[in-house]
Amino acid sequence: MVVRLALLVFAVSGCLGGPVTPAPTCVAYVACIQALDAQASTTTNLDRFVAGGACWTNGEIAELCATGCERGLARLRERSAALPEACAP
């Protein structure tokens, strides 16, 4: 499908800070990708984007992930008018 690589792979290490709450854009991104996966009978590894995932270990990484999720949703919405309801703005 359009986005199978979950857009961003972060190899950020050595950052300080504690766990943070997943960004709303990433909650929406995960829901959208899961709905697309259900239509295509496939599975995308979204572990880093869900609560407790690598994206939410500290604020710096969370910011990068939130940007990636925002861009991923925008790209999906630009490329297809027939997205599942979970992908709606």
Q: Is residue 11 part of a domain?
A: no
Q: Is residue 63 part of a domain?
A: yes
Per-residue pLDDT of the chain (89 residues; tens, 9 = 90+): 333 333 333 333 334 567 899 999 999 999 999 999 999 999 999 999 999 999 999 999 999 999 999 999 999 999 988 899 999 98
d(CA 58, CA 75): 26
Q: Is residue 82 part of a domain?
A: yes
Q: Is residue 51 part of a domain?
A: yes
Q: Is residue 7 part of a domain?
A: no
Q: Is residue 60 part of a domain?
A: yes
**How many structural domains comprise the chain?**
1
d(CA 54, CA 47): 8
Note the pTM of the prediction, 2 decimals: 0.78
Q: Is residue 48 part of a domain?
A: yes
Q: Is residue 73 part of a domain?
A: yes
Structural domain harbouring 35? 24-87
